[in-house]
Copies of this chain bind each other. A is one copy, B any other.
Amino acid sequence: MPPFSPALVTDLYELTMVQAYFAEGFAGEAVFSLFVRRLPPRRNYLVACGLEDVLAFLETFRFDDAALKYLDSLGRFSAPFLRFLERLRFTGDVYAVPEGTPVFANEPILEIVAPIAEAQLFETFVINQVHLQTLVASKASRIVEAAGRRQVVDFGLRRVHGVDAGLKAARAFHIAGVHATSNVAAGQAYGLRLAGTMAHSYIQAHDDEYAAFRSFARLYPDTVLLVDTYDTLDGVRKVIDLAKALGREFRVSAVRLDSGDLRDLSMQTRRLLDDAGLHSVGIFVSGNLDEEGIAGLIRAGAPIDGFGIGTEMGVSADAPTLDFVYKLVAYEGRGRIKLSPGKSVLPGRKQVYRVERDGVAAHDLLARDDERASGRPLRRKMMEKGTRVADAHASLDAARHLREIEVNRLPDRVRALPPADPPYAVEISAPLAEAAERLRQQYARPRPAPAPPR
């Protein structure tokens, strides 16, 4: 990546607005709420993800010299304001649901309570990171559920959108229950389990497919051999030939099918392998599969032991964005709303309660933070006055475990792939609805003509 200052990963208008707040003396406490307005048609729930990067960013935030110099060069920012930025650190509080929690439309994943300049400034980065990671964790959760007990491996690095997405997606996939990743940098950065087989180019570089298999298995005895470079079943027969030749030294763990009709080919492959007594050699498939493709293969009885999933999971191809927004919901202790058509906002800090019956989630309740409501509260304080609270250091494995437990508690129709009918309900508490209505009436009322400018 070209050199850039992390603090400048923001939209220009955040900085111009913050300069205006500075010039106007606006330094009151603001509450910003991050939530999704609506779920994509093929998502019954989302898996919250990305909090860790937000907290790490806020903890270490500062404008470095290069950033200040660049901003100065733009000719839009005053010297006093640049000095203000130089000293700016995040001093606010953060409330959030833990990573791995299933969430629904309108539920705040994260709330920032801070002087308005700070809370405004971080909008772009906060959305960017939570959007990406929640997007791909949510897609991966469907894929993991579809695969059931079969392993899912992330092969997405080549088609995800850039290097940052590659790393963050591998991390989000781990939280969603994916078994391993092919991304070596993600293994290094997060300690994730790595996996990989071989590419067609390795086979092609050899004059003979059998020779390629033999050489690779000599170096990596328990490897997975890719059999579809020329003719899939012919490739499988060469693996069987290799087993015969190696005898008890043969330890190849699986063959990989990457093209063609995976149902038919996996069945024929299984038969060939079983007829040769190679019951312990598994079948691993890849090639533009998504959760529907996986479910279809399993329903059809395809004898598949694992799935390598790339493009579809890495970019959440059927729904490559979520409608995340980060909205001002209170300033100086008073609730704020918007009335733009289709873009209204509920005021103030909020808690999300999950109401369960017999261990299964019945509905959620979105309530004012100062209410008492029944149900299990999902949102917690993660940062206080710019410092993480003790239990905000969840491990990746803890988040993975949380997702598994929490998704298991969702109703079957919500966990399933087809659109949930009815969708999971998020109710709004009476006090919250009343607060919204009061503000709506106040702002929709025709106001008197403006006072003349000073």
Contact = CB atoms under 8 A, between A and B. Distances in A.
A408 interface: no
Contact of A450 (B2, B196, B210): B210
Contacts of A342: 259
A15 interface: yes
A208 interface: yes
Nearest to A30: B205
A229 B339 contact: yes
B8 A188 contact: yes
Contacts of A340: 200, 228-230, 232, 258-260
Contact of A260 (B11, B159, B219, B341): B341
Contacts of A215: 20, 23-24
A143 interface: no
A446 B232 CA distance: 13
Contacts of A124: 157-158
B120 A201 contact: yes
Contact of A238 (B66, B211, B341, B450): B450
A368 interface: no
A376 B248 CA distance: 59
A189 to B, nearest CB: 4
Contact of A20 (B6, B164, B216, B238): B216
A183 interface: yes
A159 B450 contact: no
Contact of A259 (B190, B211, B341, B443): B341
A162 interface: yes
A416 to B, nearest CB: 24
Interface stretch (A41-49, A321-329, A423-431): A321-329
A84 interface: no
Interface in A11-61: 11-17, 19-21, 23-24, 26, 30, 32
Nearest to A226: B13
A193 to B, nearest CB: 10
B341 A194 contact: no
Interface string A57-87: 0000000001100110010100000000000
B163 A11 contact: no
A373 B316 CA distance: 42
A195 interface: yes
A327 B128 contact: no
B443 A230 contact: yes
A4 B447 contact: no
A246 interface: yes
Contacts of A128: 157-160, 162-163, 166
Given A185-B4, A189-B2, A328 B205 contact: yes
Contacts of A230: 338-340, 443-444
A132 B158 contact: no
Contact of A168 (B8, B132, B162): B162
Given A1-B167, A120-B202, A205-B336, 9 more contacts: A1-B189, A2-B189, A11-B155, A16-B198, A20-B215, A71-B184, A131-B159, A208-B450, A260-B341
22 contacts: A4-B185, A8-B184, A9-B184, A11-B183, A13-B199, A14-B196, A14-B199, A20-B216, A21-B202, A21-B205, A66-B188, A71-B184, A120-B199, A120-B201, A131-B159, A132-B161, A201-B328, A205-B336, A208-B450, A231-B339, A311-B321, A315-B315
Interface of A: 1-6, 8-17, 19-21, 23-24, 26, 30, 32, 66-67, 70-71, 74, 76, 116, 120, 123-124, 127-129, 131-132, 135, 155, 157-169, 182-190, 194-202, 204-205, 208, 210-211, 214-216, 219-220, 223, 228-232, 238, 241-242, 245-246, 258-260, 311, 315-317, 320-321, 324, 327-328, 331, 336-343, 443-444, 447, 449-450, 452-453
